[in-house]
Amino acid sequence: MTVCTFAGHREVFSSTVESEIDKALIEIIEADKECVFYSGGMGDFDKKCESAVRGMKRKYPERSIRLVRVLPYLTHEINRDKEYFESYYDDIVVPMELMGVHYKAAIKKRNRWMVDQADKILAYIYRDFGGAFDTVKYAFRIGKPVLNLAPKG
């Protein structure tokens, strides 16, 4: 089983990122019959990746492809938007390691948890600051392979 997580800045400025996401996902899915994709669901890049995973589930129905939303903490949003979550995600997870973590630190810890679980990180990093940058820097530090789809330069 291959586990992949997404890490990207809130805004996406590339007009070709959807096709690049598709290409990366196809490579991952064709290499393994069972894939899990973790998303924090924050920002354009995560949304584009989630949409692409849903497309891959339709394209490869014979494969086990799961899209999991990883929340940093429990909120009323899960109950309020239950139909949305159930129709868009195969599972919703709040890692046990995040229980009791102050909400201001929970997103960073959630991102690290996703990297720790992942075999690969699909990224969209074009600046050297912010939560997504910190997440990818952490991934590099612990030796996880990162594919950055942001334009160079």
If one compares 52 and 153, the residue with the highest pLDDT of the two is 52
Q: Whole-angstrom Cα distance, residue 144 to residue 139?
A: 5
Q: Is residue 153 part of a domain?
A: no
Residue 61 lies in a domain: yes
Model confidence at 59, pLDDT cuts 50, 70, 90, reads very high
- Domain of residue 136 covers 2-148
Question: What is the residue type of 11?
Answer: E
Q: Does 105 map to a domain?
A: yes
123: left (phi over 0), alpha (psi -120 to 50) or beta: beta
The pLDDT of residue 103: 87
* pLDDT above 90: residue 152: no
Q: Output the average pLDDT for the chain.
A: 95
Task: Kindly state whether residue 44 falls inside one of the protein's structural domains.
Answer: yes
Q: pLDDT tens digit string along 71-82?
A: 999 888 888 888
- Please give the average per-residue pLDDT across 91-106, as a whole number: 92
Give the pTM.
Answer: 0.94
* Domain CATH number, residue 30: 3.40.50.450
Q: Quote the pLDDT of residue 128.
A: 94
SS3 content of the chain, % helix, strand, coil (to 5): 45, 20, 35
The CA-based dihedral angle spanning residues 132, 134, 138, 140, taken in that order and rounded to the nearest 10 degrees: 70
Number of H helices, E strands in the chain: 6, 6
Residue 141 falls within a domain, yes or no? Answer: yes
- Overall domain count for the chain: 1
Percent pLDDT > 70 in the chain is 99
Residue 26 lies in a domain: yes
In a domain, 71, yes or no: yes
Question: With 70 as the cut, is the pLDDT of residue 153 above it?
Answer: no
Neighbours of 64 (CB within 10 A): 14
